[in-house]
Amino acid sequence: MNLKFFLLTFSFVLGACGTMSSREPLRTVNYVDIPKFMGDWYVIANIPTFVEKGAYNAIESYSWNTQEKRIDVDFRYNKDSATGPIKRYPQKAWIYDSKTNAEWRVQPWWPLKFAYLVIDLAPDYSYTVIGVPDRKYVWIMARNKTMEPRLYESLVAKLQAWGYDISKLQKVPQL
């Protein structure tokens, strides 16, 4: 192995470790009532994954699969415009922390599974915020297509306080 390559890789790893330890881990909400959480959630804003770029009318639908003891997820949206082709991404989710039900593992496709954290949730389940541990992605979702601007701004302020790069946050058109 080339010494320069080794030193470069080693310094990158050390830098990444230092960056990771400077932030507290994300906290989840105290408890999620799974039956109340099931149903449709409109994606109001997100730091999008590559799959979500150009999404309009994005909806995440959750349903409890009794037989498999998991949550079936149907993510769908119109690609590149309000009338664009519908893209669908079925996923599977398992409750990872059964004490709170606020940490899941989501499998967009086998064999990948990602941590999915419910980091904010309205008492009436009218909105939620979903994050991932490294703060690379986040989703603000609501039961309605629109969200009151003051509520939205308060959620964005929370995300910034929790260490998210809000300059990457994008509103998702819901038409």
pLDDT along the chain (175 residues), means of 10: 34 38 85 98 96 96 97 98 97 97 93 94 98 97 98 98 97 97
What is the pTM assigned to this prediction? 0.86
- How many angstroms separate the CA atoms of 28 and 6, rounded? 38
- Distance, in Å, from the CA atom of 66 to the CA atom of 23, rounded to the nearest integer, reads 37
Domain membership of residue 2 (yes or no) is no
Report the pLDDT value the prediction gives residue 36, as an integer from 0 to 100: 98
Contacts of 9 (CB under 8 A, 6+ apart): none
Specify if 13 maps to a domain: no
Tokens read off for 75: 């993510």
- Residue 51: the pLDDT is 92
What integer pLDDT is reported at residue 110 of this predicted model? 84
pLDDT attached to residue 23? 77
The confidence score (pLDDT) of residue 7 equals 30
Q: Can you give the C-alpha Rg of the chain in angstroms? A: 18
Specify the length of the chain in residues: 175
Whether residue 5 lies inside any domain: the answer is no
Residue 140 lies in a domain: yes
**What is the domain count for the chain?**
1
The C-alpha torsion from 68 through 73 and 74 to 75, rounded to 10°, is: -160
- Determine the structural domain holding residue 133 and report its residue range: 25-171
Host H or E run for residue 12: helix 3-21
Give the CATH number for residue 85: 2.40.128.20
pLDDT at 126: 98
Measured CA to CA, the distance from residue 85 to residue 78 in angstroms comes to: 5
CA–CA separation, 151 and 4 (whole Å): 50
CA dist 75 and 117 (Å) reads 17
Q: What is the pLDDT of residue 22?
A: 60
